[in-house]
Structure formats: C-alpha cells, structure tokens
Amino acid sequence: MMKNQMGMTRRGLLGGAAGITAAGLILPRMALAQDGPKRGGTLKIGHSGGATSDTIDPATYAAGPVVTAMLAVCNNLVEIDAEGAAVPELAESFEADAEARIWTFRLRGDATFADGRRVTAADVIASFNHHRGEDTKSGAKGSLAQVKDIRADGDGVVVFELTSGNADFAYLTSDYHFVIMPAKADGTLDWQSGMGTGGYVLENFEPGVRIVLKRRDDYWKKDRAWFDTAELLTINDPTARQNALMTGEVDVINSPDLATLHLLERRPGLKLVEVTGTAHYTMPMFCDTAPFTDVNVRLALKHAINRQEVLDKVLRGHGQIANDSPIAPANRFYAADLPQNSYDPDKARHYLKQAGMEGLKLEISAADAASVGALDMVQLFQQSAAAAGIELSVKREPDDGYWSNVWLKKPFCVSYWNGRPTEDDMFSLVYAKGAEWNEAHWDNARFNELLLSARAELDTALRAEMYHEMQGIVSQDGGTIIPIFVNYIDVVKDTVAHGKVASNRFLDGWKAVERWWQA
Amino acid sequence: MRGSTPANPIQKMILGRLGIGIFTLFVISIIIFLAISLLPGDIAEQVLGQSATPETVAAFRRELGLDQPLAARYLDWIAGVVRGDFGQSLANGRPVADLLGARLGNTLFLAAYAAVISVPLAVLLGLLAALWRGGWFDRIANVTTLTAISFPEFFVAYILMFWLSVRMGWLPSIADPGAAPDLGERLIRTFLPAVTLVLVVTAHMMRMTRAAVVNVLGAPYITMARLKGASRWRIITRHALPNALAPIINVIALNIAWLITGVVIVEVVFVYPGLGQLMVDSVSNRDMPVVQACALIFAAVYILLNLLADVLAIATNPRLLHPR
C-alpha cells in the first residue's frame, strides 16, 4: 500500500521544489497514523456558513459546507497537500513549456464519474469554461483571465495556453471552483448532476440544513475516503455548534467561538486542530486619494496600529502578527527576515511630520461582514492611533451589501482575504496595477515589473529572491495595512484521526471528509 | 349553534373575510416586493460577495432576468402565482414549492407540538389562578410565567440546552430530525425547542384566561350560581369560562400564529430547518420568489387563524355577529 501511494503521488511531478516537498509528504502522514487509517464509520461535521440559498453550482459556491462536501464528491486536476505543495490529483502529471506559458495536463486513465463514465478532456474543458467567457457568473472568473485557450489533445490530455508565462498555474487549478464535473453534449457543464470523480456521492442535499455523502467503492484513490458516510450539518450559531460537539451530535466543528475556546479545550475527548494559513485581515487605503497619496501617511498608519493588541483581543491569540504583506508563513516564499512594522506612536508622529499632516483626521468604514471582529479591530486602531495624534473616526457600515457598496468604493475601509497558496496569485489579484480587486489602488512600478518576471521564472532560487523583494516593497510602500493572519481552527473529537493537516483552509484544506478517518 | 338562522350570516362573514384576505395577500406581496428592492444590493451582489465583478454581476442579472424593470418582474411573478407556480429560487434554481414543502411541515409540526402542550396548560393555569386569585398559587403562577416570558427566547433555549442536553445528556441539542425521521425520534428531537416555545407563550394566554374569567366572576349570574350551591370549580368551568371564551380564543389564535411565524431564533439555536430560517436566508440573499412565498404563507396563517378565532368566538357568543 505504501509503495502504491508513493508511486502514485510521485509520478509525473513538476520538477523542482514541488517534487521534493511532495515526495516528503507521504512519510510523515503515515508515521503519524500509528495504526494506519481504517475503513468505516460516519463522520459528522457541524459546519458554519451554510444557507438555504446554497447551490452546488461551482460558479457560485458559497464558502461553507457545500465546498467541504463537493471537494469530497469531486476532484481537481491538482490538490494542495499538507506541505502547501501542488500535487497531481485527476491529472496524472502536468508540465509547462520553458516559458511556463503552455501547460499540459495528462489525465488519469482510471478515474471515473459516479455513473461509471471515464473522465475525459472534454469534462475538464467544460469545468474550466464554466468560469470563463461572457456569460459566466463565476466568482473565479478573474483567476482565469490569464487563460487564452483550453484545448484537448486526444481524450486524455488537456492543454492550457496562457497569455503570458505563469510558473504557478498548476496551483491555480486546485481552487475549489475548478472541481471537475461531467460535460454535457453541447460542451457546457452538467453541475446539476452533482456528480464527480471523488470518493463520495451526494446522497442528500438540503441547502442550509444537511448534506449526506456516501462512500463509493470504486474510488480510484485507494488510500483515501475512509468513512462510509459523512454528514455535514449546517449549524450557524456558534454556541449551538459547540453544544452539538459536546453532546456528541457531531464529531467535528469548524470556527469555534474564540471567546470560549479555552473552556472547550479543557473538556476531555476533544482536541484542537489549528493551523496558520494565509487568511488575513486588511485595511486598504486608496493610494490615489488624499491623504493616502503620500507614502508617509501610509507608513504613519502602519505604525499607529497595535498589532499585538489586535491579535490578543480580537483573535484571542489565535493568529499571527502580519507585516503589511499578504504573503503568510504558510506560503513557499515567505520572507521572515523583513523588518517588522510595529506599534510606535513616535515613529507615526515622525512620518506625519514628514508628510506635513500632523493632527490628521481620517474616517474608516467598517462592518463585521468583512471579517469576524472587524469592528473591534478598528476601535482598537482608533485608540492606538489617537496616541499617535491621528484622529480616526469609525463609520459603521451595514453588513448587507458591504462588498458591493463599501469595499472598493470607500477610500479607507476593512477587508478580508483567505489568501492564496501562491505568491503570484495573491499579488496578481489584489496588488498588481489595474487588478479588478486592487483594493488600495496601489501602483508600484518596480513591484509590477517584478511580478511579471517572477511569474514566468522557473528557477526557484531566483523567484524566491524576487518575491522577497516584492514583500519588502508591499510592506513599506503598499497601500494596505495588514495587521494579522488569522488561524483556521477546528475542534475534533478524539474518535477522529488525521495526518498532518493542510493549512490552505479549515478542515484540512476543506478535504477532511476524504482525508480523515475513524480512530 | 342555535338552529339554522345564524348559519347563513356566519357563512357570509367567512366568505367576505376570505375575500378581504386574498386582497390583503395581494397588497402584502406588492409591499414585500418593493421593500426588498429598496434594500441595498441584489442577489447577484449578495451571492458573489467579495468576488463580484461588474461583468459577473451583469451576467448573473441577465441570467435571472433581474435586468428587467421592477414592474415587469412583479407581473411575471404574480402571473405564475395565479397559475399556482411559485417559481424557482433565484439562488439555487430549486422550485420554491420543493424548498417550502419540507420546511412548512417542520414548522407546523413544531408549532402544533408547542401548542398542544401550551394551550391546555395555559388555560388550566389561568383557571386555577382565577379560582385561587390572590392566593399563593395565583402569585407563583404569575411570577413564574412572567419570568419565563421576560427572558429572550435564545436565553431560555441556551439554559434548557445547557442543563438538559450538555449537563444531563437527556435530550439532543440539535432538533434537525434528519432526512427520514420517525415520529418518536421527531418528538424527542423537538422536545427542547417545543418546551422553549411553551415557556415563551404560556404567560400571555394564561393571564388572558385569568383576566377574562375574573372579569365575569362579578356578574350577577355567578352570584346566583354560588347561591344555589355550585362548587367553585364548577362555577368557573361551567358558568364563567363559556362567557369568557371569546378573548381567550383570540389570544390563543395570536399565539399559535406566532408559533408558526415568529420562531426563527429558536430554529437557529436548535438547528431546526423551519420556514423562519428559510425566510431570513432568502431576505439576506434578496431571493425574491422564496421571500414572497414565505411572506404569503405567514400572512395567510395570520388571516386564517384570526378568521378561525372570530368564527369560534361567534360560535360561543352569537351576539358578536351583530356589532352595535
């Protein structure tokens, strides 16, 4: 079995770092599981974030139980492992040309949909085209703007042609929007079937109530999908979620209430699964709007927020201090050695003086719709900024429509990002010049130049160097205050076992159903 | 009740009230439609959230026909309703009738469960309190029920859940009966939410029963009954209660209507898939057809229960048919 796993996972890896980290991955997983995973049992998850409006259409997934379920029902071309590396999933192998512009994915021959049909290039193309083109309503449309053409090369090979080189394109295909579902005869996606190539089939889907998954015996991965059934209950009330775990109604919950987490932790039979991923709170300032046009003002504000206090009081310590750069310790090219922007009222005053704006008055728009505790955060900011002579007033915005009416509209507001597994994806989406979601209207020539060259660079050492410099630029010149990274926390009964968990989302990178097993 | 003559006016009244009720529903549907369109953001922006871009929002609206003018969308919807087609959820394309079906059943089940416990309990407590008015029972019953109603529902729910479920482990903390429940399982699972609701609604009905009964106890025919030697319990149940029924029935009807339409917090705390949660989700997503269907059901519940209360009140007191 071990041999089988190693052979399968290693086959056809992209050269370089991905290959090395991926080969190392299986060993710790096996080592942690002393008895080895065993088949059987039911996994019950008390999940936050479900609503009666949930749909299984990958274009408009809401980030809740549907995604956890659909990542057990479907596979992607590539998945992110516990080390944060992209490893082949439905693609048996993938490779790029020398410019990283033409990407070729070879599909597995043994993966079938739940109705027994083998997955072909047409299905993959339909799954991606669902998020492209004029009429798509997909939230992932922006990520695929770089794709010029997708074509089949026979039944088992899909070729992506990009507008310019992107060494990280394989990572992108692991996004939960890009699950592979069957194509209809006319080339559109048959998402209504709810069918995938994964280890489970959708047995019952009651939006906002429950999703029941049943194991498939003919799943192509032999070392995954251990539970016979999985039930995902939507429990949006944090207290109810915790009570459900304590009374044994569910085995796992995500997003526990941080205020009472220390009490929950004390209960016997429960354990915390906590990872620092790439999720972060941000406060973008429009760099083309006064007073934020002056970098000194931006630096003053970056030194006027007490990050430690925000971490302690808003997240109760369940996170990490960030350095105004969206690249997290979980990312491959994280620059840990950059000088840290920290709370220093004198320094903030100094920068304000440089800008000639002592006694600066500002307004920040905030709502808890942006992130849990966003209002608390800006209130703490208000206090710490006052000590630096900045008069910050908080404008409380309605939760409804926050992302449409406030974010990207108001010059100074709060925002939130789950982050991306790759530096390029994160920077291109939010920090590149002219990007749709460039929430700070930031435009730095050197940064934009580096972004393009790093994207097409296949030499890992060179890329590391470039991303290091870019993180420094964002941290010092950028228009976004990023005070903290927030942890993903699940609470799990000790009847459930798992290997090292991935850090790219909660519940083991949203793949707990497929990866975990009964202890 | 007495001969055939009053039957016709009652029928007339029922028909008249039903007609007004349908007109009311129509007006409500227009108000809801306008109110939702006044809220910031539409379904495209709500569903796409942070990942919305102008193009994807436009594509979303095009697909759902949201680029049509307001009046056209309303006429389109109402034309479907007249034909008995409530349309599809804008958010996930499911037929509204399917979404509502199971949830309406759940809501009615929980409301009936709570009503079956609370109505007899409240009336009995009210009668006993009237019987021993001013005594210790009266005071304890008043204080207890008023205390229960004064706490917010979620607090009562959490306390019950904490003691009976988390501490004692007697009852499940989640009320969702699963995909295919049997009756026994359902009754156990929904016991805590039902008790929560009972605690919330009992005080109102009990105090109305007590007040209405006490009110008629001063009447001369009660003195007459006492003089002829009837027992106090018999006086209250046979002589006072029938004459005090009309206001009691009205309060019971209002409370049952609340049990059907107003229990969203209890649904959330106990994870019970009822109509309230559906409506709240749909409002926050601006999912017009679902909101409309829920609103119409809720409005119809109020209209029908009020009508039923009036009919019953008239049946107990035909004088009410001829208002002065």
d(CA A246, CA A172): 38
What is chain B's pLDDT, residue by residue, as a tens digit (324 residues)? 444 444 577 788 888 888 998 899 899 889 988 888 887 777 887 777 777 778 888 888 888 888 888 888 888 888 888 888 888 888 878 888 888 888 888 899 999 999 999 999 999 999 899 888 888 999 998 898 888 888 888 888 888 888 888 888 888 888 887 767 788 888 888 899 999 999 989 888 999 999 998 888 888 888 888 898 888 888 888 888 888 888 899 899 999 999 988 888 888 888 888 888 888 888 888 888 888 889 888 998 989 998 898 888 888 877 777 765
Q: Is B211 exposed, middle or buried (0-12, 13-18, 19+ CB in 10 A)?
A: middle
Q: Which of A55, A142, A233 sits opposite B176 (nearest CB)?
A: A233
What SS3 state is found at B295? helix
A48: DSSP letter: S
Q: What's the pLDDT tens digit per position in A235-265?
A: 888 888 998 998 888 999 988 888 888 888 8
Decide if B59 and A136 are in contact by the 8 Å CB cutoff: yes
Instruction: Name chain A contacts of B62, Cβ cutoff 8 Å.
Output: 135
Q: Which 3-state string (H, E, C) describes B164-204?
A: HHHHCCCCCCCCCCCCCCCHHHHHHHCHHHHHHHHHHHHHH
Q: A138 vs A30, which has greater pLDDT?
A: A138
pLDDT at A10: 37
Distance from CA of B38 to the nearest CA of A (A): 12
Q: Checking DSSP bridges between strand A42-47 and strand A229-234, what pairing results, if any?
A: parallel
Q: What's the pLDDT tens digit per position in A101-134?
A: 999 999 998 999 999 899 999 999 999 999 998 8
Decide if B173 and A249 are in contact by the 8 Å CB cutoff: yes
Over 70: is that where the pLDDT of A325 sits? yes
Residue of A nearest to B273 (CA): A209
Those residues with Cβ within 8 angstroms of residue A212's Cβ, 6 or more apart along the chain or in another chain: A202, A203, A204, A205, A229, A230, A231, A232, B179
* CA neighbours closer than 13 Å in the CB half-sphere of residue A275: 23
Q: What's the pLDDT tens digit per position in A408-447?
A: 889 999 999 988 888 998 998 899 988 888 999 999 999 9
Average pLDDT of every residue of chain A: 87
pLDDT at B311: 86
Q: Which of A210, A398, A437 sits opposite B176 (nearest CB)?
A: A210
pLDDT at B121: 93
Model confidence band, residue A15 (pLDDT cutoffs 50, 70, 90): very low
Decide if A239 and B169 are in contact by the 8 Å CB cutoff: no
pLDDT at A19: 38
pLDDT at A30: 43
* Residue B95 bridge partners (DSSP): B88
Distance from CA of A191 to the nearest CA of B (A): 12
Instruction: Name chain B contacts of A52, Cβ cutoff 8 Å.
Output: 91, 99, 277-278, 281-282, 290
Residue of A nearest to B90 (CA): A53
Q: For an interface test with A, which of B39, B56, B167 has the most A Cβ atoms less than 10 Å from its Cβ?
A: B56
Instruction: Name chain A contacts of B274, Cβ cutoff 8 Å.
Output: none
Over 80: is that where the pLDDT of A291 sits? yes
Question: ipTM for the complex?
Answer: 0.77
Q: What's the pLDDT tens digit per position in A486-506?
A: 999 999 999 999 988 888 888
Decide if B53 and A142 are in contact by the 8 Å CB cutoff: yes
Instruction: Name chain A contacts of B278, Cβ cutoff 8 Å.
Output: 52, 208
Q: Is A303 exposed, middle or buried (0-12, 13-18, 19+ CB in 10 A)?
A: buried
- Among the residue ranges A121-125, A198-202, A348-352, A419-423, the one predicted with the least confidence is A419-423
Distance from CA of B201 to the nearest CA of A (A): 23
Alpha helices by DSSP H, listed for A57-201, are 65-73, 121-129, 169-172
Residue A478's alpha-carbon distances to A54, A294, A433, A437, A470, in angstroms, are 36, 11, 12, 14, 10
A335: DSSP letter: -
pLDDT at B3: 46
CB A419 within 8 Å of CB A328: yes
Query: H-helix or E-strand containing A277?
Result: strand A270-284
Q: Which residue has the tokens 């009140």?
A: B313
Residue of A nearest to B161 (CA): A243
Q: What's the pLDDT tens digit per position in A44-63?
A: 999 988 888 888 999 888 77
